[in-house]
Structure 1
């Protein structure tokens, strides 16, 4: 079985919705096991309540958990054109995995939610790839074989660098069906690549 982790941080629920779609897509690939986990919160509870953050009962991940998976799909909101601080802090704690080359050759992908259409969506996807490449992971984007991202009808989240959605300045805009379809496509794309790589490793071990 190919093991995929969908790991995300979400403040208002948009990234969580995309994470569920990513997991659904990965599960559509035969022989795939999928776990959904969230990044630990660093914002104090009074601040969370005042800001209107949504509650989330998804189990929390630890950096050491990442080594058990063949592919990891990371989801983050955009914060001033970059990943959320919570995601960066989590990755900064994975130095032990880096030192052991524990993530080398695993498949990685990124999806994101941004407040406005030109609010750093692509910058967040691309800059989040950087630490994953330092870990030696292989980056999977959102290929143009997902035709939804070329649509000119309405506001479409995502890019060739990863799936995504536009939340609106006040966070009131929910992911569209096209956004969710892109996340499902990306999840399946990652699962297929991870399965091929895992199969190749098994073939080499058997030779």
Structure 2
């Protein structure tokens, strides 16, 4: 099986909903599986000690999850136009994988949610791309011929799926579609890359 790691941080559930939709897209592709993982909260005073398996939701990610995936979808709520600190904290621990080139050549995409229409969706997506570029990953955008990208009145950007959550966590039909499209694109690309590495 080709595994796509969907790594996200979600405080209020919107980014989790997006991760689940991306997972549905991944698993609609024969031979691909979605692996959902999250990161623990961090404290402004010191790093929290957390159980390895949360009581609800996806398990916490490990560096081996990242190393062993065939592709990655990275998701965060928008925090002042940037990814949330818990996700950045985990990414900052991946230097060993960078030195080893463990993620180089693997496909990756990004997604975000925000509580305001101009809350920095695109800058957050771009900020999440930077460490992936340093790792040598192949960034996947949303295809320009995707109709939902042109018709959306809520979230959605060429850089990756986004969700505008002003009053509720429910994703719009266009937002769901764009998440699904990213999942399909990551899975198909990862499968194709594995086929040529043999």
Q: TM-score, normalised by structure 1?
A: 0.86
Structure 1 residue runs of 4+, over 3 Å off?
none
After TM superposition, give the deviation of residue 173 of structure 1 in Å: 4.6
After TM superposition, give the deviation of residue 131 of structure 1 in Å: 0.6
Could you tell me whether the CA contact under 8 Å between 1:77 and 1:112 is conserved in 2? yes
> In the alignment, what sits opposite 1:97?
97
Could you tell me whether the CA contact under 8 Å between 1:38 and 1:60 is conserved in 2? yes
After TM superposition, give the deviation of residue 144 of structure 1 in Å: 1.9
| C-alpha distance in structure 2 between counterparts of 1:99 and 1:2, whole Å | 24
Question: Which one of the candidate residues 179, 183, 186 is aligned to 2:182?
Answer: 186
> In the alignment, what sits opposite 2:75?
75
| C-alpha distance in structure 2 between counterparts of 1:31 and 1:118, whole Å | 38
> In the alignment, what sits opposite 2:47?
none
SS in 2 for 1:82: coil
> In the alignment, what sits opposite 1:205?
none
2:197 aligned with 1:201: yes
> What pairs up with 1:145-164 in 2 under 5 angstroms?
145-151=145-151, 155-164=153-162
SS in 2 for 1:172: coil
Could you tell me whether the CA contact under 8 Å between 1:107 and 1:137 is conserved in 2? yes
After TM superposition, give the deviation of residue 135 of structure 1 in Å: 0.6
Could you tell me whether the CA contact under 8 Å between 1:64 and 1:97 is conserved in 2? no
| C-alpha distance in structure 2 between counterparts of 1:90 and 1:41, whole Å | 10
C-alpha root-mean-square deviation of aligned residues, in Å? 1.5
> In the alignment, what sits opposite 2:52?
none
> In the alignment, what sits opposite 1:31?
31
Q: 1:43 to 1:194 in 2, by over 3 A?
A: same
Which structure: larger Rg?
Answer: 1
Q: TM-score, normalised by structure 2?
A: 0.90
- List per-residue Cα deviations over 1:142-195 (Å, max 9, x = no partner): 11232111116xx32120100110011xx5352112101110111001111111
| C-alpha distance in structure 2 between counterparts of 1:63 and 1:82, whole Å | 22
Q: How many residues align?
A: 188
| C-alpha distance in structure 1 between counterparts of 2:193 and 2:169, whole Å | 37
> In the alignment, what sits opposite 2:126?
126
Could you tell me whether the CA contact under 8 Å between 2:15 and 2:112 is conserved in 1? yes
Q: 1:142 to 1:56 in 2, by over 3 A?
A: farther
- List per-residue Cα deviations over 1:108-146 (Å, max 9, x = no partner): 100000111111001111111011000110100111232
Unaligned runs of 5+ in 2: 45-54
